[in-house]
Amino acid sequence: MTGGPAPSAAPAVRSEVCEVSCTARTVPVVPVVPPSDDADDADRAEPGSGATALSTVPAAGSRRGTTPVGALKFFHGPMDCGKSTLALQLDHNHTRQGRRGLLLTRLDRSRRPQISSRMGLSRPAVEVAEDTDLAQLVRRSWAAGTRVDYLIVDEVQFFTPAQIDQLAVLADETQVDVYTFGITTDFRGRLFPATARLVELADEVLPLQVEVLCWCGRPGRFNARVVDGEMVRTGDTVVVADTEAPGDQDRQDTVRYQVLCRTHHRTGDLGPGAAAALPIET
């Protein structure tokens, strides 16, 4: 009688042999811990039960399942640092990639509805009034069949805080990218209400890298208002004028602005040959 196959040997204990020392080492077995009785039933939810499995809930910090939003950026610097030039360049770059934008401004130095730079560049823009609803402005463009992928907003310091809130809503709820450009502080060295709100809400607050110099050679950050050749510290917050052009230093009948460092803005020193101004009150 031919016997069947020999019974297999009992499984040997698994081990690893070190080839160098020839010493056997037993690999520890990691026990599997069964789920406790009080585990969340939602994590083991059956299909069609209506319960949400925890594995489908995005972890903290995960962007999975979130709605994309637009960017709200604030580019700032003193007068004459190239803000409007950068705004026009940014519009050009986006247009070349097939995006459609809307240009907005308020009280441009040219006193025309446009964004203009001191280098001679300009583009037509929508002149925004104090009571303009920017969200409605964009929606009207959509209703007219005009796509709006981004906004270029120049002279943003002259907008209202409410309009800054409207820009944030457009970025968050309509995925429109918003690029704003403006001056941070007024002629007294105090934040404009609109720029203060932008600092609070913007995704990025970006100083322009083009350095404007005070007459002393130090970086200029403050915009001094000069009336009839003298620096003033009182008056309306908004007075539209430009920085001086070559040959304007001797003109005494104009309102202009001059970029100063903190020290000379504080002391009211416009430089050699300029009329003295009252120092800032402390």
135-162 pLDDT per residue, tens: 999 999 999 999 999 999 999 999 999 9
45-76: buried (b, 16+ CB within 10 Å) or exposed (e) per residue?
Answer: beeeeeeeeeeeeeeeeeeeeeeebbebbbbb
Q: Which of 170, 184, 38, 19 is nearest to 101 (CA)?
A: 170
Per-range mean pLDDT, top range of 38-42, 59-63, 173-177, 207-211: 173-177
Whether the predicted pLDDT of 9 surpasses 70 = no
Among 16, 46, 127, 155, the one annotated catalytic: 155
Q: According to the model, what pLDDT value does residue 279 have?
A: 46
Whether the predicted pLDDT of 65 surpasses 90 = no
Q: Which two tokens stand for residue 49?
A: 């039960």
Percent of the chain predicted with pLDDT > 70: 68
Give the residue-averaged pLDDT of 223-230.
90
Count Cβ atoms below 10 Å from residue 96 Cβ, excluding itself. 8
- Binning pLDDT at 50, 70 and 90, where does residue 228 land? confident
Whether the predicted pLDDT of 273 surpasses 90 = no
Active site residue 16: no
Whether the predicted pLDDT of 49 surpasses 70 = no
Whether the predicted pLDDT of 189 surpasses 80 = yes
Q: How far apart are CA 87 and CA 178, in angstroms?
A: 11
Q: According to the model, what pLDDT value does residue 28 have?
A: 53
8 A C-beta contact, residue 263 and residue 218: yes
- Binning pLDDT at 50, 70 and 90, where does residue 46 land? low
Give the residue-averaged pLDDT of 5-20.
48
Per-range mean pLDDT, top range of 15-19, 210-214, 264-268: 264-268
Region of poorest pLDDT, from 54-63, 116-125, 180-189: 54-63
Which domains, and CATH codes, for the chain?
A: 68-210 (3.40.50.300), 211-282 (no CATH)
From the number of C-beta atoms within 10 Å of its C-beta (0-12, 13-18, 19+), residue 4 rates as exposed
Question: What mean pLDDT is reported for the chain?
Answer: 79
Q: According to the model, what pLDDT value does residue 29 have?
A: 52
Q: According to the model, what pLDDT value does residue 274 have?
A: 65
Q: According to the model, what pLDDT value does residue 118 have?
A: 76
Crossing angle for the helix pair 161-174 and 134-143, to the nearest 10 degrees: 40
Region of poorest pLDDT, from 19-28, 157-166, 208-217: 19-28
Residue of 278 and 83 predicted with greater confidence: 83
